[in-house]
């Protein structure tokens, strides 16, 4: 929680949305999580998600940004929330 009980604001966007990334960072938001491969996983559930965005950049990474409160910083996460076991990743490569 931020000071005075006001929660930080969290925004999620994709790696191709450069305008949103620029806007949020200039507005005081900080990158707190980058999840590579998140959109590849999401396409298994929703195949209609396109492969590339309007600038021809491939959708692959989900970026999470969080507003920073006055006098408070939030350290970036070093690990994704969900991490697939290495053995599962290697099995997929061999298929």
Instruction: State whether residue 62 is helix, strand or coil.
Output: strand
Residues 6+ apart with CB under 8 A from 32: 10, 64, 65, 66, 74, 76, 77
Return phi, psi of residue 12, to 5°: -120, 135
Q: Which CATH superfamily is domain 3-79 in?
A: Gcn5-related N-acetyltransferase (GNAT) (3.40.630.30)
Q: How far apart, in whole angstroms, are the C-alpha atoms of residue 63 and residue 76?
A: 11
The per-residue pLDDT string of the chain (95 residues; one tens digit each, 9 = 90 and over) reads 455 555 688 899 999 999 999 999 999 899 999 999 898 889 989 999 899 987 889 988 999 999 865 444 444 444 444 444 444 444 444 44
Residues 6+ apart with CB under 8 A from 30: 65, 66, 68, 73, 74, 76
pTM flag (> 0.75): no
């Amino acid at each position: 929680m931020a000071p005075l009980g006001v929660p930080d604001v969290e925004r999620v966007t994709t790696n191709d949305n450069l305008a949103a990334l620029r806007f949020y960072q200039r507005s005081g938001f900080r990158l707190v999580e980058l999840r590579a491969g998140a959109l590849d996983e999401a396409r298994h559930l929703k195949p209609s998600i396109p492969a590339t965005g309007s600038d021809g950049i491939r959708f692959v990474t989900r970026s999470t940004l969080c507003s920073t409160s006055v006098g408070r910083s939030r350290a970036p996460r070093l690990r994704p929330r969900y991490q697939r076991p290495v053995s599962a990743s290697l099995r997929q490569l061999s298929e």
